[in-house]
Amino acid sequence: QVLAHNRHTFTTVSQRLLIAVTPAPGGDAPFQAEFLVGNRNVEELLPEAAREMFLQASAGVWERGDLHVINVTSALDRGGRVPLPIEGRREGVYVQVGSHSPFSPCLVSAVSPQSQSRCHRGQRPLASCYDTFAPHFSIRWCNLTLLQVWPSPTTPGPVWGLGVLEDGGDFEPPTEVTPRELLPAFLVTLLVPLAVAVLLCLLLGHLMCCRREGV
C-alpha cells in the first residue's frame, strides 16, 4: 500500500500496488555509484524520461553506456533538512547507478583522499573530466559514494532423499551404556548441605544461649 501526501493541499491518498521483483538478466551490477542531486525533488526523478536523462549524463563521466538506475531516495530520508519555502529550493535526491564496467578515472579521482581533503576545506573535489550533469542536474561531488558489490558464493543446499533406508543389512541399535554408580554422588549432594545446616544451627544456638549476659 502506497500513501501519498500532497504538500500543497495537505490531502492524503492511498493505493495498493503489486510489485513483482525479478532478478536482472545479467545479475546485479558489481560497480555502483551514488550521486546526490541537489536541485531536484524525489518526484522529479521518478518518471522514466528524467531517469533516462540522468543516465545519459552519468554515461559522460562514467565513460560507459551500460548504466541503469538502481535506487532513487529522497535526501530527507537520509537525515537531510527540509528546504525553506523559497522558490528554487529543493530537498535533494540520492540516485544510485549501477554498471558492469569499472569506474572511470574521473569518478575514482573524485573520491580520492586528495578530493576528500579539499571537501573538508570547503573546496570542489578533483575531477579530470567535464561535468556532463550541468546544467540540468547539480551534483554534490563531495557526497559521491562508489561501491563494489560482488556476489557472495552460494552454498549448495541439502540433498533430500526418498525417506527410505538404503539396502545395507539390518538396523543395528547402539550398544548398551554401562551402568553408573550414582549413590556416592547422591550422598555427597544430600549430606554436605545437611552438615552445613547442622553446624550453622549449633553455632547460632551457642551464640543465643551461651553468650547472653544477664541484666
Residue 154 lies in a domain: no
Residues 44 and 62: beta-carbon distance below 8 Å: no
Grid cell locating 61: 563521466
The answer on pLDDT for 214 being more than 60 is no
> Which sign does the torsion angle of CA 164, 165, 168, 173 carry?
negative
Segment of 27-31, 60-64, 94-98, 151-155 carrying the highest mean pLDDT: 94-98
Within a 13 Å sphere around the CA of 99, how many CA atoms are in the beta-carbon half?
18
**What is the reported pLDDT for 96?**
93
Residue 202 lies in a domain: no
Domain containing 142 equals 27-148
Which pTM was predicted? 0.59
Residue 64 lies in a domain: yes
Residue 62 lies in a domain: yes
* pLDDT mean over 156-167: 67
Contacts of residue 114, Cβ cutoff 8 Å, sequence gap at least 6: 126
Residue 169 lies in a domain: no
Residue 18 lies in a domain: no
The answer on pLDDT for 135 being more than 50 is yes
Segment 184-206, tens digit of pLDDT: 888 899 999 999 999 999 998 88
The answer on pLDDT for 150 being more than 80 is no
Residue 113 lies in a domain: yes
Residue 119 lies in a domain: yes
Residues 30 and 146: beta-carbon distance below 8 Å: no
Segment 10-58, tens digit of pLDDT: 899 998 888 777 766 666 788 999 999 988 888 888 889 999 999 998 8
* pLDDT mean over 166-188: 77
Q: How confident is the model at residue 215 (pLDDT cuts 50, 70, 90)?
A: very low
Question: Exposed, middle or buried: residue 99 (CB in 10 Å: 0-12, 13-18, 19+)?
Answer: buried
Residues 97 and 68: beta-carbon distance below 8 Å: yes
Q: Looking at the 3D structure of the chain, how many domains does it have? A: 1
Segment 80-92, tens digit of pLDDT: 777 776 777 788 8
E strand or H helix that includes residue 202: helix 183-209
Q: Which of these ranges, 16-30, 86-100, 136-150, 177-191, has the smallest mean pLDDT?
A: 16-30
